[in-house]
């Protein structure tokens, strides 16, 4: 059989990644259920989240530079191989009664390190394999790997967990990872040379390559010299911080509300995927009129409103509606944010600038991930075990405690987005697109 290349090859890669991400999401679901059933506390979820997130953000600064310097296929395959080895170890420990939180913490951190390679690796691969006129179609195709697994993995894992157990779930993950690696090895992916450094004075390329440290610094300098971009990032910084308190405890919250019902958790997570797919489809067919930054801020507010609704919901159907609103708003915000940045940052600078952008926007997000669990377990749960107005309104025990933190965080996040509407730098950020080439 002839090895695929071009758009057919990229389609094959997308199929492999769809399967791989779905399998990994099923394992994540199963491990989350095991942690809650075994320990019944929110703190382990916070620790795993902060370790995974911290590794991605910190290593993400270097990932773009590494991807430019490495051959394409190792950069694509390495995250899947690392994930497969860790899943195999988790399966071994679980089968022999030795699975511990310590190992899951290490697993989260290592997965975060290698996971940071995936976005730049597949972005560069797309540009390497395809013609410019195919980029839009290919990006739309690959976006299925974002929301498709979120749609089907939780409901599959929730339904299969009682049938094949956690070992069966992890076995499926290993099979899908191997499938993705084999496809990446099979497909023809052209290699590209490392870009030369552009001389800013004469707009010509020099014969030297930028150093790793220069690559890291460049993005921060670009952003700091453009105040509207910096202020827009401050909005993301604030909303990511406050909404992070509730986002990091989603799984234990749904389990606490539903008496440890894995199928219910899977159902709500599936509706997050549905909301994301609906948002992607509508926004690809219909352009929202007016300034993109307005649509961005409205999307942020809608997403946080969904978190408020999720926090006050006590039945699964209401949680599913909240999940759709949250993910739809998130897609709306992120889509318009990406469009704004792509219109301002020159293509040959986007890798370095976008790495710095992601780091700044998420710089404080690790704090709520780390603190949310202890705040719930040590401060709020005792309060919500008592008979008071808050426990009557939001529920008793861990469910009410997480609900309170989720709602308060989302309300403060909405306040940050509303502040964005009043800031002239934020509202005029799109003016920079007219001066990019100065």
CA distance 295 to 298: 5
Instruction: Give the pLDDT confidence of 195-235 residue by residue, as tens digits.
Output: 545 444 444 444 445 666 777 788 888 898 899 999 999 99
Structure tokens at 307: 């978190």
DSSP string, 374-402: HIIIIIIHHHHTS-SHHHHHH-SHHHHHH
End-to-end CA distance of the chain: 51
Closest by CA position to 128, among listed 176, 183, 81, 68: 68
Q: Radius of gyration over alpha carbons of the chain, in Å?
A: 22
As a 3-state breakdown, the chain gives helix, strand, coil percent values, each rounded to 5, of 80, 0, 20
Is residue 93 a contact partner of residue 110, using CB atoms and an 8 Å limit?
A: no
pLDDT value, residue 348: 64
CA distance 27 to 25: 5
pLDDT value, residue 139: 58
DSSP string, 331-344: HHHHHHHHHHHHHH
Q: What is the pLDDT along the chain (438 residues), one digit of tens a residue?
A: 678 778 788 888 888 988 998 999 899 889 988 988 888 877 788 788 778 878 887 787 777 677 666 777 887 888 889 999 999 999 999 999 888 999 999 999 999 888 888 777 776 676 677 665 555 456 556 667 777 787 788 778 888 888 899 999 999 999 999 999 999 889 888 765 545 454 444 444 444 456 667 777 888 888 988 999 999 999 999 998 999 888 878 888 998 999 888 788 878 888 888 888 888 777 766 767 778 899 999 999 999 999 999 999 989 999 999 999 998 998 888 878 877 876 787 766 766 777 778 778 777 777 887 788 889 988 999 989 888 888 888 888 899 999 999 999 999 999 999 999 999 999 999 888 755 444
Sorted by where each starts, the structural domains of the chain and their CATH numbers stand as 1-190 (1.20.1250.20), 215-433 (1.20.1250)
Backbone φ/ψ region at 6: left (φ over 0), alpha (ψ -120 to 50), beta: left
pTM score, whole prediction? 0.71
Closest by CA position to 13, among listed 24, 22, 5, 23: 5
């Amino acid at each position: 059989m002839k090895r695929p290349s071009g758009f057919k090859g990229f389609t094959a890669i997308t199929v492999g990644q769809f399967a791989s991400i779905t399998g990994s999401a099923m394992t994540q679901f199963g491990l989350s259920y095991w942690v809650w059933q075994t320990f019944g506390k929110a703190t382990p979820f916070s620790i795993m989240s902060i370790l995974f997130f911290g590794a991605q953000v910190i290593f993400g600064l270097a990932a773009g530079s590494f991807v430019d310097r490495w051959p394409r296929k190792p950069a694509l395959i390495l995250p899947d191989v690392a994930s497969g080895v860790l899943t195999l170890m988790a399966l071994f420990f679980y089968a022999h009664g030795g699975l511990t939180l310590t190992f899951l913490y290490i697993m989260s951190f290592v997965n975060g390190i290698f996971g940071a390679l995936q976005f730049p690796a597949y972005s560069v691969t797309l540009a390497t394999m395809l013609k410019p006129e195919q980029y839009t179609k290919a990006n739309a195709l690959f976006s299925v790997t974002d929301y498709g697994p979120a749609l089907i993995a939780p409901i599959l894992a929730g339904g299969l967990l009682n049938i094949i157990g956690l070992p069966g779930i992890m076995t499926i993950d290993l099979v899908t990872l191997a499938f993705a690696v084999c496809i990446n090895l099979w497909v023809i992916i052209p290699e590209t040379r490392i870009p030369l450094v552009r001389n800013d004075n004469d707009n010509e390329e020099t014969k030297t390559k930028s150093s790793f440290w220069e690559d890291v610094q460049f993005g921060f300098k670009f952003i700091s010299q453009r105040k509207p971009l910096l202020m827009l990032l401050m909005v993301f910084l604030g909303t990511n911080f406050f909404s992070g308190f509730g986002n990091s405890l989603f799984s234990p919250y749904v389990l606490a509300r539903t008496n440890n019902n894995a199928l219910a958790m899977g159902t709500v997570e599936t509706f997050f995927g549905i909301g994301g797919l609906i948002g992607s489809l509508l926004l690809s067919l219909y352009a929202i009129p007016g300034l993109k930054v307005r649509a961005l801020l409205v999307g942020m507010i809608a997403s946080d409103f969904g978190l408020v609704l999720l926090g006050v919901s006590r039945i699964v159907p209401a949680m599913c509606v909240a999940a759709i609103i949250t993910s739809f708003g998130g897609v709306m915000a992120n889509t318009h944010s990406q469009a704004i940045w792509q219109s301002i940052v020159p293509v040959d600078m986007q890798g370095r600038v976008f790495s710095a952008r992601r780091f700044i926007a998420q710089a404080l997000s690790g704090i709520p991930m780390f603190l949310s669990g202890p705040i719930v377990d040590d401060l709020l749960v005792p309060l919500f075990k008592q008979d008071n107005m808050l426990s009557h309104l939001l529920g008793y025990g861990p469910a009410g405690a997480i609900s309170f933190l989720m709602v308060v965080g989302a309300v403060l996040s909405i306040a940050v987005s509303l502040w964005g509407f009043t800031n002239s730098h934020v509202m005029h950020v799109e003016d920079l697109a007219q001066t990019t080439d100065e």
